[in-house]
Amino acid sequence: MRRLQDKHIVVTGASSGIGAEVCRLLGKAGARVTLAARNAERLAAVAGEVRSLGGQATCFTCDVTRRDEIFALAGHATNIFGQIDAWINNAGGGIYHRMLEATEEDMLAQYRLNCLSSLWAYQAVVPSWIKRGWGQIVDVCSLAGKSGFAFGGGYCASKHALSAIGDTMRQELALMGLGPVPGWGSDPGKLKGIVVTTVYPGVTVSDFSKNRVNRATTPEQQAEDAAITRKMKSGSRLVRMTMGAHSTRSVARAIVRALFRPVFTLYTHRGATLVVLAGNLAPGLVSRTAAKLGRSGRA
């Protein structure tokens, strides 16, 4: 953890869940942390914890879906703590809906939150890193960025897009001669190259479901939302039973361990990852299992 001492790291979605845990771990390591999210009160509380653990903290209240606010966040972070060493794109959220009823507004809102917010961050910080020759972006994606799941279409599509822009950014940096050189991370004082790390967590115990976007206003929509929520809960129980759920602490630990190391993709849930990747190779198997669940009335 000594390598994180005094490093300046920006964390979005720092007011709760995985992001807040990452900030606490960074505080313990003596890092300088810029925390960003919309809820100023919760941000201030997490920043207080970072300071009491030995780190330095500054907060910036913003909506990551707004490109101008991401640029303002980068400006605030630089003004307070100087050059940014790493940036963690963690802010995100989901929506439950049926594909046949997904609206343009729902889909675009998911893209803005889960994918474009990261793109704006690349544009805000990477140009200055190109000049100095090093830096690290960490995108907190999801196994939903490797596979679809029922009623999570907008979320899955936006996380797939996030995975794709991370891969693309990595390749473009490599073509510019800015991929990390061998030994990157062994001496953080001499980093050379820019690393884009994409993290793929599976089910993690947090307020993620509680914080999801819910646009149901009419009684019919609310009844439909309750039905979908029940199905999501039983699906999530099944996933937890078969593949396990992780704590925000264990996911945050994996993210912090990847800082200032040349890690390109990080899978935090081994069992779930194997199932998802197997499902990519054999989609028929997934469909047959879903069909069985559908017929048995268990889904």
Ligand X SMILES: NC(=O)c1ccc[n+]([C@@H]2O[C@H](COP(=O)([O-])OP(=O)(O)OC[C@H]3O[C@@H](n4cnc5c(N)ncnc54)[C@H](OP(=O)(O)O)[C@@H]3O)[C@@H](O)[C@H]2O)c1
Please list the residues that pair with 197 across neighbouring strands.
138
For residue 45 the two structure tokens come to: 């509380």
What is d(CA 172, CA 234) in angstroms, rounded to the nearest whole number?
42
For residue 95 the two structure tokens come to: 């929506």
Active site includes 122? Answer: no
Backbone angles phi, psi at 183, to 5 degrees: 95, -5
Kindly indicate which of the ranges 63-71, 74-82, 255-263, 270-278 contains the residues binding ligand X, using the contact rule CB under 6 A: 63-71
What is d(CA 14, CA 85) in angstroms, rounded to the nearest whole number?
17
Task: Decide whether 78 or 273 has the Cβ nearer to ligand X.
Answer: 273
Tell me the three state secondary structure of residue 76. helix
**How far is Cα of residue 36 from the mean position of the Cα atoms in its chain?**
13
Among residues 4, 8, 9, 16, the one that binds ligand X under rule CB under 6 A: 16
H or E stretch including 57? Answer: strand 56-61
- Interface size with ligand X, residues (CB under 6 A): 29
Please give the residues from 160 up to 219 whose contact with ligand X meets the rule CB under 6 A. 201, 203-204, 206-208, 211
**How far is Cα of residue 114 from the mean position of the Cα atoms in its chain?**
8
Among residues 17, 152, 180, 193, the one that binds ligand X under rule CB under 6 A: 17
Residue 142 binds ligand X, judged by CB under 6 A: yes
Task: Decide whether 178 or 239 has the Cβ nearer to ligand X.
Answer: 239
**Shortest spacing between CB 105 and ligand X, in angstroms:** 15
Task: Decide whether 178 or 228 has the Cβ nearer to ligand X.
Answer: 228
H or E stretch including 35? Answer: strand 32-37
**Shortest spacing between CB 138 and ligand X, in angstroms:** 11
List active site positions.
155
Task: List interacting residues with ligand X (CB under 6 A).
Answer: 12-13, 15-19, 37-39, 42, 63-65, 90-93, 113, 140, 142, 201, 203-204, 206-208, 211, 248
